[in-house]
Amino acid sequence: MGNAKSRGTVLLIGKGAKKASTEQYLRAEFRAMDVNNDHKLGVSDFYKLMTNLGYSEGSGGPKVLLKRTDKDMDKVVTEDEFVAAIKDPAVLQQTSSLRDLFSNCDKDGDLTATKDEVIAGFKKTGIKPITQEMQKKIESMDENKDKKITYVEFLRVQFGLR
Ligand SMILES: [Ca+2]
Ligand SMILES: [Ca+2]
Ligand SMILES: [Ca+2]
């Protein structure tokens, strides 16, 4: 005993040591659309979410996707159903642009970014110049004004939900 504070342990719990997993990104995407926070999405909100994420209906269109997603066929998509369906590599790839854009902003991978990080990330992704309108949009992202833009806050503005 007595070596619990070994160098390795300290490094592991150090800030930024743990990056958000893809699953955490996906859960945030669901929560961004689930504005009433009841952990469910109706069919039309599910379609909206997929379209907002850039899903382009692949083979068979949204109905096929819904069938694959809403496993118990109750016309309600739960967070777990969404995560399981979108984890399909082809779907994941088609819906990656906002995910990639945000992870370019979120340097330490904790699913939050500062306003300056978001601006830098947009520039890095080739979105320049940053127009005044875009600057205003970015400033409005931090809904609870804690100086951090979470991925959920970021998406709600991108989705036009606020
Ligand atoms: Ca369901
Ligand atoms: Ca961060
Ligand atoms: Ca915030």
Q: Which backbone phi and psi does 89 adopt, to 5 degrees?
A: -50, -40
Q: At what angle do helices 151-158 and 22-33 cross, to 10 degrees?
A: 50
> Does pLDDT of 10 surpass 70?
no
Residue pair 125/88 in contact by the 8 Å Cβ criterion: no
Q: Which two tokens stand for residue 1?
A: 């005993």
Residues with CB in 5 Å of ion ligand 1:
70, 72, 74, 76
> Does pLDDT of 48 surpass 70?
yes
User: Which pLDDT value is given to residue 61?
Assistant: 79
pLDDT in tens, 82-118: 999 999 998 999 999 999 999 999 999 999 999 999 9
pLDDT in tens, 16-43: 457 899 999 999 999 999 999 999 999 9
The β-bridge relationship of strands 76-78 and 40-42 is antiparallel
Band (155; pLDDT cuts 50, 70, 90): very high
Residues with CB in 5 Å of ion ligand 2:
106, 108, 110, 112
Ligand 1 centroid to residue 65 C-alpha, Å: 13
- Which of 54, 84, 89, 56 lies closest to 72, judged by CA? 84
**All domains of the chain, ordered by start, with CATH?**
22-94 (1.10.238.10), 99-151 (no CATH)
Give the closest ligand to the alpha carbon of residue 146. Answer: 3
Longest dimension (CA), the chain: 60
For 110, the 3-state DSSP assignment is coil
Ligand 1 centroid to residue 45 C-alpha, Å: 13
Give the closest ligand to the alpha carbon of residue 42. Answer: 1
> Does pLDDT of 151 surpass 70?
yes
User: Which pLDDT value is given to residue 159?
Assistant: 96
User: H-type helices in the chain, by residue range?
Assistant: 7-13, 22-33, 43-52, 61-69, 79-86, 89-94, 96-105, 115-124, 132-140, 151-158
Q: Which two tokens stand for residue 87?
A: 């984890």
